[in-house]
Amino acid sequence: MMIPILSPKNIRLPKASDITDEVILSTMDDKIMKKAKKEPAVKKLTMEINRDIEKMKNFDKRVTEIKDKKDLVGLYCMDHYFNEQNCSADPYEFRREQSRLYQKH
């Protein structure tokens, strides 16, 4: 059985946009991965990534705390508004005298 010889026409070279990080990682075996992880630049990047992940967790926690405080302040403001409305409102008798139903009688 003869194996056909591939001519340059049959070989499809990938475009640069087709070569992603995932494609490169899929071609690496364990030995190469271990060697790459020992590189100082990779160690530094790994530490920076871990630090950024930690910052994101703290940021999310802080956003939640601020939202909770905002909701609580909103409740206090609403309570204060209604208390002010009640305190500054005219007495019941006066309001009753001003109503059209009272004036008809």
The answer to whether the CB of 36 falls within 8 A of the CB of 28 is: yes
> What stretch of H or E contains 21?
helix 21-26
C-alpha distances in angstroms, 94 versus 61, 89, 103, 104? 52, 10, 12, 15
Quick one: pLDDT at residue 81? 92
The answer to whether the CB of 89 falls within 8 A of the CB of 95 is: yes
Least confident of 6-10, 25-29, 50-54, 80-84: 6-10
Output the six-digit token pair for 73.
């302040």
pLDDT band at 61 (very low <50, low <70, confident <90, very high): very high
Output the six-digit token pair for 55.
């910052």
Q: Which pTM does this prediction carry? A: 0.44
Q: Which residue has the higher pLDDT, 9 or 87?
A: 87
